[in-house]
Amino acid sequence: MHKGRVLFCVFLIAVAAYAVWAAVGWTFKAKLFPLTVSIPLIVLAAIQLVAEIFGKADTGEGQAVDLEFASDVAPELARRRAIRAFLWVGGFILLVYLLGFPWAVPIFVFSYLHLQSRIGLPVSAALTAATWLFFYGLFQRLLHLPFEDGVIQTWLGV
């Protein structure tokens, strides 16, 4: 039994069960479609859950049409690197929330290059400047994309 696979089935059942619970009180038109899809989802996820717990291990035979992660990295190292990657992605979103895109972009790019990728200070600074110029020139000057201020600027009133 693979704990992660079991938990994913439980997650699917929980999502579909929540959908059923939320939809039951709606009007007929509003609930028909969500109920029609969430009930079979519970059934299919439950069958898969039983197969994960009691069935034979998935041999991977006839696998789905989709990406497969790198298999040449040790699982523990892969897990650590994946968590670190998601923390960087989450960190970027947090920076955008706090400071807005125009400030978050150079801070994130420089931090990632220098701290994560261990690129030297001058090269990191040069690449950060180039990325910021690309961002500013294309998205702000040319396309006039409206980027909101971060909460810090709003809070400080600047």
Q: What part of residues 87-116 is at the interface with another protein (CB under 8 A)?
A: 88-90, 92-93, 96-97, 101, 105, 108-109, 112-113, 116
**C-alpha to C-alpha distances, 64 to 60, 61, 67, 79, nearest whole angstrom:** 9, 9, 9, 22
Residues 41-80 that bind another protein (CB under 8 A): 41, 44-45, 47-48, 51, 58, 60-70, 72-73, 78
- What six digits make up the tokens of 93? 């979103």
Kindly state the smallest distance separating residue 48's Cβ from another protein, in Å: 5
Kindly state the smallest distance separating residue 79's Cβ from another protein, in Å: 9
5 binds another protein (CB under 8 A): yes
Quote the Cα angle for 73-116-121, to 5°.
Answer: 140
Kindly state the smallest distance separating residue 150's Cβ from another protein, in Å: 9
Kindly state the smallest distance separating residue 91's Cβ from another protein, in Å: 10
Residues 24-43 that bind another protein (CB under 8 A): 26-27, 29-30, 33-34, 37-38, 40-41
The Cα–Cα gap between 43 and 38 comes to 9
Going by C-alpha positions, the residue among 61, 72, 51, 53 that lies closest to residue 2 is 53
**C-alpha to C-alpha distances, 5 to 48, 55, 142, nearest whole angstrom:** 9, 13, 47
